[in-house]
Structures are given as C-alpha cells and as structure tokens.
Amino acid sequence: MSKIKNLKNLHFSNVFILLLIVLVSCALLICINIFTLKISSANRSYVNGESHYSKGQKDATRHLMTYLYTKNPTQWRLYEEEIKVPQADATVRKMLLKAEVNEILRKAFITGRNHKEDVDDMIWLFLNFKNVSYFAKAIHEWGVGDTLVSKLSLIGKQINFKIKNNQLTLANQRQFLQEISIISDKLTLNERNFSTTLGEGTRKIKGTLVIINIFLIMIIVLSVCLYYSIMVKRLIASKKEIEIKNEDLLLANHELDRFVYSASHDLRSPITSLRGLIEITQSENDVTQIREYLALMSQSLVRQDQFLRDIIDYSKNKRKEIIIDPVSLKELFDEAISQLKHLENANRITITKEILVDEIQSDGLRLKIIISNLLSNAIKYADPSKEEMFISIKTYSTDGFYKIEISDNGIGIKDEFIEHIFEMYFGTNKNKGSGLGLYIVKEAVENINGTIEVSSKNNIGSTFTLKFPNSNSI
C-alpha cells in the first residue's frame, strides 16, 4: 500500500513540476516578447531620431552656406533653428552617460524632434544597453558626430561674427566653405555608421530572441507532451488498479460466500450436537454415562468458543486499520500463554523463551492474533505420547528484519498438507480447530508487510518463522 501511495505522490510531484515548467516558460515567453518589442521600439526610435539629427545637420549646413554668400539674416535664423536639433541630441548623450534622468533630458529629446511617447523607451535602452557592443559602438559614432556638430557650430559663429563686422573676404568664404564641406561629408559618413550599427544590433538581438522563443516553445511543447504521457500512464495505471481491485473484490466475494457457508455449518454443528447430547442425557440415569455426555458437551462448547474467537480475529484483521506503535513481544507472549493454560495438555508442555528483541514498531493487534494462534496450535497439536513436550520461542534481529521463531515437538504436519495449511478452512484435524487459524495468521502477517515460513516433520515437530521489516513504514 505504501508503494502505491509513494508512486502516486511521485506522479503528482512530476505533474506539478511539469505544470510549473509550462507556467514559467509561458511567463518567460511573454516577458521576452515584451522585452523584444521594447528593444525594437527603442531601436526604431533611435534610428528615427538619427534621421532628424541628420536632416537638422544638413539643413543647418545648407542655411549656413547660403548665409555665408548672401549674408541674409533670415538664413542665419534658420541655421540656428536647425542646428539646435543635433545640439540637443548631444546634450541627451552627455546626460545619459551620467545617468541624469530629469525634465531637462526629456526636453532635450523633444528639441531633438523625438516623439515624446518614445522618450522613456529610448532612455531605458541607453541606460541598460550602453555597454552592449553594438550599442556602445553606436554611442561612439554619436559622440564623434557631436564633436563635428560642435566644430560646425564654431564655424557658424565665426562666419556670423565676420559678416556682422564686415570682415568677411572672398578668401574667408572659400576657406569656410571648404571646412563646412569637409565636416558635412564626415557627418554623413558618421550618421550612416550610426544607423548601420543600430540596424545590425537590432538584427542580432532579433535573431537571439527568436532562438530563445523557439527554445521556450520547445520546452512548453515537450512539457505538455510529458504531462499528457504521464496522465495517459496514470489513466492506464488507474484502469489496471481498478481491474486488480475488481479481481480482489471478486475473490473477496467468493471467499465471503465460502466463509458464510462454512461458518453457518460450523456454527450449527455444535448446536445440533449439544441438542442431541442433552436429549440423550435427559433419558440417562447412569451418573458415569451422564458425566461422559457432559464432557462431550464441554468439548463441543470449547470448539464453538474457539470458532467464535477465530471469526472475531478474522473480522478484526479484515477491518481494523493498521496502527504502528511500540510493541513488547515479551508481554504479548506472556499474555497469550496465560490465556491458553486451559487447553488440554497445556500444563504438561515446557515453554522456553529467548527474547533477544523485545520492543519493536508494529501493529499490536495483529501481532497478538498471530502469536495467540501459533501458540494455540502448538498446544493443541502437541504429542502427548512423548515424555517431554516443549514449545520454544525465540525473537531476534538479522539483516534489517525482526524474526520470531516458534518451534515445538508436536505431531508435526505431513508433507502433503504443508502447501495447504494456510488455506481457509483447511485443517488436518477438524476436532481440534476451525480451519481458520493459520489462514488468519497468514493474512495478518501480510498486512504488516511480513512473511511466514514453516518447516515440519511428521511426528517430530514444527517450526514457524515470522519475518518483519525493521522499520516504521508499513
């Protein structure tokens, strides 16, 4: 029974673990996909921001070059408006590197023409991925671009100063134009590197996350398959268990039918015998003969009493729950011996005890039934023709088992009967027993996970050996 319980607990544990794996995998899958969307959205925002950065820089360059030759103040104002875009992005980069997240940073993002709803994702991506190779490379390109924008801003200030002070010469125009063109070309290359780096990083992250997604999906599918397999096995095991229980139930019903039939016969037989003896006694005047009839009545009542005891033991063994407690073997033997003194020849039998193991963990009720029945049989089937009759009791522990040996020098058991002595209603002498004793003993022993063996020689004696596990788990 304990093995079945352990197996069920193990199955329950396995199913629980699989369900936990599925739940954790699903949770990870959801988190990773949210994570993926967040990274993709932030990367898209940076690429979009780079386009505004690039456009602002190029428009600023165009207006500055126009202002250089036309000296039109409108072009200067347009230049100042456009140069703010890359300059704001430079402020963003410097503040994020210092992890300064505040309203100034958010305003700088907006000035850089980034959408306000993208700002949080862009901040999160920078702070958490700034040391990742692809993003670190993009930040480096961003920094190089900011340096070039600073140079472009310085050139713009120089041009504006010379124009306002009427100091701009044709040579100055050529020099400024050359410097602006060089910076513009470098910024174009720098901006392209920034976008390319972000694109490559996005693709790598996407590939990695796809692999993780596939891996988690495979875990979920595998776990579900294992769960299904375990449930199918449990259904098959349950079906087999039900079939076994049905077989046991059929066997129990057959056994019960047999028991009821035999019990009714055995219960009526002594009553019939007593009624007959009473009728004969009533018509008998010879005192000696009456005493013989009374002795026969007494024997009939003893058999009836023993049979009722066996029925009670049978019932207790069948329906009483197994309770494991400390049990004293010495006390059980002493109690059984004292209760069996009334049996014929009991006072002539020498009983020796060698109690090497006394207290064990077992079911006291069933041990009492076992010991009482075995000692009762040893007394009832003693050989009165022998000068010395004995019963030897020995308890000891070996190889992780408790053992009890009960030996006698009684009439023994014939070889052809050995295989059948534990069967219900099998008895070599119906006048001495009900045929239930050893059957009950065998069932009680098996109920507490024990075994029983018998060795016997006809007219020499018998030895019953009981073996119980040296543990508390039954």
Residues paired with 406 in a beta bridge: 393, 464
Instruction: Assess whether pLDDT exceeds 50 at residue 171.
Output: yes
**pLDDT top residue among 248 and 143:** 143
**What is the predicted pLDDT for the residue at 178?**
94
* Residue 307 pLDDT greater than 60, yes or no: no
For residues 260 and 221, what is the distance between their CA atoms, to the nearest angstrom?
Answer: 57
Please state, rounded to an integer, the average pLDDT across all residues of the chain: 82
pLDDT surpasses 80 at 94: yes
* Confidence band of 373 (pLDDT split at 50, 70, 90): confident
Q: Which residue has the higher pLDDT, 150 or 31?
A: 150
pLDDT in tens, 206-243: 777 778 888 888 888 887 787 777 778 878 888 888 88
**pLDDT (0 to 100) of residue 238:** 82
Mean pLDDT of 275-289: 75
Question: Which residues, including other chains, have CB under 8 Å from residue 445's CB and lie 6 or more apart?
Answer: 366, 370, 451, 452, 466
Lowest mean pLDDT among 22-31, 78-87, 124-133, 397-406: 22-31
pLDDT tens digit string along 333-359? 998 898 888 788 888 899 999 999 988
* Band of residue 10 on the pLDDT scale cut at 50, 70, 90: very low
pTM: 0.48
Q: Match 């050893």 to its residue by tokens.
A: 438
* Mean pLDDT, rounded, for 109-113: 91
* 140-161 average pLDDT score: 93
Percent with pLDDT over 90 in the chain? 32
Considering only 171-175, 275-279, 411-415, which range has the smallest mean pLDDT? Answer: 275-279
Average pLDDT over residues 27-54: 84
Query: Which amino acid does the sequence have at 38?
Result: K
Residue 354 in contact with residue 450, Cβ under 8 Å? no
| Helical ranges in 98-132 per DSSP H | 103-111, 119-129
pLDDT at 343: 80
Inter-axis angle of helices 2-70 and 133-164, nearest 10: 20
Report the interhelical angle of 2-70 vs 170-282 (nearest 10°).
170
Report pLDDT for 8.
47
Residue 12 reports pLDDT greater than 60:
no
Give the tens place of pLDDT for each residue, 385-441. 898 999 999 999 988 889 999 999 999 988 888 888 888 766 655 455 556 778 888
Q: Give backbone dihedrals phi and psi of 165, rounded to 5 degrees, phi first.
A: -105, 15
Q: What is the pLDDT of residue 74?
A: 94
CA angle 10, 16, 20 (to 5 degrees): 145
**What is the model's pLDDT at position 294?**
77
**pLDDT at position 6 over 90:** no
Other CB atoms within a 10 A radius of the CB of residue 71 amount to 16
Give residue 155's pLDDT band: very low, low, confident or very high (50, 70, 90).
very high
Answer yes or no: is pLDDT of 1 > 50: no
Confidence category of residue 5, pLDDT binned at 50, 70, 90: very low
Backbone angles phi and psi of 362, in degrees to 5? -165, -175
